[in-house]
Every structure is written in C-alpha cells, then in structure tokens.
C-alpha cells in the first residue's frame, strides 16, 4: 500500500481511510529561535519563570490527597465488592502507599531501615 499525504490537519491516508497523524518537528534554526525566546522570557518575566518551574515540579499535595482518597475507598470496596472488592481494595491501598512514599525529588522513601553489611 502506498501512503498519500493529505494537506488537511497533518493526516496521511492509505486508500480512503486516515491512518497516521503526521507530527511536525522543529527545524534546528526554529529550535534556536524558540530557545532564545524562552531565555528572554525567563530573564524579563519572573512570573513566567515561576509558572514554568511549577509545571516541572511534582505535585506532592495531589499525591497525598489521592492516597488518602484511595485509602478511604478501600474499606468501601471490601464491604460492597465481595472478593473482587478485596482485590480492588488491596490495589488501592498499595497504590496509595506508593504515592505516599514517593519523594518529591523522584526517589522513593524506604519504609524499612537499610540493611547493614557485616563483613
């Protein structure tokens, strides 16, 4: 089959059905211009810098709220869900524990102390 590019919305067609969305990539000179624009915005507008940095930071409060919500739902799943509810509650409690132990820097908080190596 041959792929025929269509000029509308960046889609390619095989025969009469659209199959692949074509995503444009920045050319090197456009990337340099974009990086320069972002650099100037960072220098001129501290509010932009704060918003950009906030987008990159993990959301610790959201993780805590989601973990508490999952732990709240777990007993309800057990009561109303039977054995399937027990399985769902175990998954919810486990994922809630995972969210609570995840550190903001990307590491994982250990629940147990590290083992000492004896020689």
Rounded to an integer, what distance in angstroms lies between the CA atom of residue 57 and that of residue 52?
Answer: 9
Residues in CB range of 25: below 8 A, 6 or more apart: none
Taking only the tens place, the pLDDT of each residue in 91-106 is 999 999 998 887 665 5
Q: Which helix (H) or strand (E) holds 112?
A: none
5/20 Cα distance (integer angstroms): 10
Higher per-residue confidence, 116 vs 82: 82
Structure confidence by residue, pLDDT tens digits, 33-71? 888 888 888 888 888 778 777 776 667 788 888 999 999
Q: How far apart are CA 99 and CA 37, in angstroms?
A: 36
Q: What pTM was computed for the model? A: 0.46
């Amino acid at each position: 089959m041959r792929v025929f590019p269509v000029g509308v919305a960046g889609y390619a067609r095989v025969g009469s059905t659209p199959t692949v969305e074509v995503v444009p990539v920045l050319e090197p000179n456009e990337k340099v211009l974009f990086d320069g624009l972002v650099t100037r915005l960072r220098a001129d507008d501290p509010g932009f810098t704060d918003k950009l940095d906030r987008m990159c930071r993990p959301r610790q409060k959201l993780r805590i709220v989601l973990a508490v919500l999952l732990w709240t739902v777990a007993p309800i799943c057990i009561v109303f869900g039977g054995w399937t509810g027990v399985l769902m509650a175990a998954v919810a409690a486990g994922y809630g524990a995972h969210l609570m132990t995840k550190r903001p820097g990307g590491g994982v908080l250990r629940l147990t102390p590290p083992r000492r190596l004896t020689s």
